[in-house]
Structure 1
Amino acid sequence: MKKKVVIAGGTGFIGQYLQAKLKDLGYEVVIISRQSPHIQWSNQAGIVDALERAEMVINLAGKSVNCRYNSTNKKEIILSRTETTEVIGNALLACENPPPLWINSSTATIYRYAEDRPMTEASGDIGTGFSVDVANAWEQSLFAFKLTSTRQIALRMAIVLGEDGGVMTPFRNLVRFGLGGVQGSGNQIFSWIHIEDVFRIILFLQDNKDLSGVFNCSSPYPISNRELMMHMRKAMNRKIGLPSPKWMLEIGAIFIRTETELIFKSRWVLPERLEKEGFVFTFNKIDNALQQIVKNPSY
């Protein structure tokens, strides 16, 4: 009988990567999603059945934050995270043989804007504003469940970098069209993580059975926006990159129906707990990560 992992919200950029890597390791991967042919969120019995005797459940579900923060989208962003987390928690309570590990996505955006010092799990200051409210509600919905047989972990993920999606697509386009200079002041800190290390962190947390709670999922070497764009230009062999002032990006964000917080917020996050527990990153520096991601010469 094949070992089984359940990925909730597994049809996106991160979920597809995890699914392929876990299948390579011999796992059966079951997806919960709003999309057919996967198990639907309304199918509580099907979710319970999927979770029975699974090795772990990884919940990545949530509406993309790449949209305008109007009242309708704000409500959907929060509910798509808290309600799906509650569905999984209730399904785990109904299991006879629940998975021993529940990893729930969270976000490094839970910390305040920081240019003065890095944020760790122990010493980080929780911020304010809508994105922080989302993160708090998300984690509260996870830890509200008091499970005796299942470890619960919230992964506070920094911006995930990889070949096949996420923020790399717009960043590459900016550089390709000569707009790969600094965005805004360029001093804001960019905390990031390579998607391969996200996968490896999940396996590390699975193997280390005494670990639970909150973990920062980010490279130990965050960089400034100025450094990021310099490394992007270098990786893509582009010498010139015009800067994008804040006012220009604010106008552009309206036209493409997104928010500029992803660019302007200074997220300075360190993976203190992971490093203390002995996790070693494959892609700890941005130049190594970008060399792997931007290896296709067509970029």
Structure 2
Amino acid sequence: MKQNKLIIAAGTGFLGQVLVNHFKNKFEEIVILTRGKSETRNNIKYVHWDAKTLTGWETELEKADVLINLAGKSVDCRYTDENKAAILASRIDSTAILNLAVLSCTNPPKHWLNSSTATIYRHSEDKQMTEENGEIGDDFSMNVAKAWEQTFFEVPTKNTLKTALRTSIVLGKKGGAFIPLKRLTQIGFGGKNGSGNQFVSFIHEDDFARAIEFIVEKEMIGTVNVIAPNPVRNKDFMKQLRKEIGIPFGIPLSKTLLKFGAKIIKTEPELVLKSRNVIPKRLLDNGFEFNLGTIEKTLKNLLS
């Protein structure tokens, strides 16, 4: 059955496009809130917003079936004071203004799914983190995630269901982390990163979009780990990537080298060194079936 209206806030990036491709034949109308100009393209309506203030875009939320908010400055940058402030503000401001927008609607969205992150859990090489028993840590990234979810949930929206999507690395053909990882491996740097023992939690872009649809269908609320069920150690992830690409060897990158390299390409080593050992318990308990739930299947598909 076709639903009526889908709104994607900040939907012009990689994940937004994954969702548009998945949902384009499942909704009568798709509206993207964007910092770009207002226009209609390929039957999709783009509406300008600044993700901070109500300037008229909020009327688009009326009678929406689903609102998905993907807003947030990329964490693929150096954690300078200025970037840290922007990372936090971009998540808090957009979520806070959407709370106001939803409350201002006569017919608010039925279900609002807000981005969050699996980085909310502590570095773990031992324990698997589920929604129920996951241990939430205390550093810059984890505190951003906590503030983000708090801003989302602290405002009651009695006519709108709310779900925070604790997502990790989404692997896709046209964007995200997969492309630089593939390039590194092709030029011979596809060895383990650091000790290689840290876990990588990932999800294939198709399963990501299917999981979002499932969460809406099942009216799942609260926090959901949107992640494949089989996290793998970094050394095994890189080994599988080399195998699928057909590169027999890969130079390992030590912690020191990664820190040096991260400075040059203006990013943070945490992005590859943190162990995200996260399990999608609620999705599995509700009966969601992953099509590409292992790293082997995921990489085979992306490189086919």
Scaled by the length of structure 1, what TM-score is found? 0.95
Matched, 1:229 2:238: yes
TM superposition shift of 1:43? 6.2
SS in 1 for 2:279: coil
Number of the residue aligned with 1:18 = 19
SS in 2 for 1:269: coil
Partner AA of 2:115 in structure 1: S
Number of the residue aligned with 2:94 = 84
Partner AA of 2:270 in structure 1: E
SS in 2 for 1:28: strand
Matched, 1:33 2:43: no
Deviations 1:199-225 (A, max 9, x none): 11111111113x210001111000000
Partner AA of 2:105 in structure 1: C
Partner AA of 1:241 in structure 2: G
SS in 2 for 1:44: coil
Partner AA of 2:16 in structure 1: G
Partner AA of 1:14 in structure 2: L
- 1:98-109 equivalences under 5 Å are 98-109=108-119
The separation in 2 between residues aligned to 1:152 and 1:26, in whole angstroms, is: 20
- Summarize the Cα distance change of 1:97–1:45 in structure 2 as closer, same or farther, 3 Å threshold: farther
SS in 2 for 1:274: helix
The separation in 2 between residues aligned to 1:126 and 1:2, in whole angstroms, is: 36
SS in 1 for 2:56: helix
Deviations 1:88-145 (A, max 9, x none): 1100000011111000000000000001110011111001110001100110110011
- Summarize the Cα distance change of 1:261–1:219 in structure 2 as closer, same or farther, 3 Å threshold: same
TM superposition shift of 1:3? 1.6
Number of the residue aligned with 1:274 = 283
- 1:44-193 equivalences under 5 Å are 44-193=54-203
Contact 1:113 1:265 in 2 (8 A): yes
Unaligned runs of 5+ in 2: 39-46
The separation in 2 between residues aligned to 1:194 and 1:128, in whole angstroms, is: 28
Unaligned runs of 5+ in 1: none
Number of the residue aligned with 1:292 = 301
Deviations 1:16-72 (A, max 9, x none): 111122113244211112122332136625332111011110000000000000000
Contact 2:121 2:136 in 1 (8 A): yes
The separation in 2 between residues aligned to 1:150 and 1:26, in whole angstroms, is: 18
The separation in 2 between residues aligned to 1:64 and 1:39, in whole angstroms, is: 20
Contact 1:39 1:46 in 2 (8 A): no
Contact 1:103 1:153 in 2 (8 A): yes
Scaled by the length of structure 2, what TM-score is found? 0.94
Deviations 1:142-181 (A, max 9, x none): 0011011110000100111110110011100111001101
The separation in 1 between residues aligned to 2:144 and 2:270, in whole angstroms, is: 14
Equivalent pairs counted in the alignment come to 294
- Summarize the Cα distance change of 1:198–1:2 in structure 2 as closer, same or farther, 3 Å threshold: closer
Give me the CA root mean square deviation. Answer: 1.3
Larger strand fraction of residues = 2
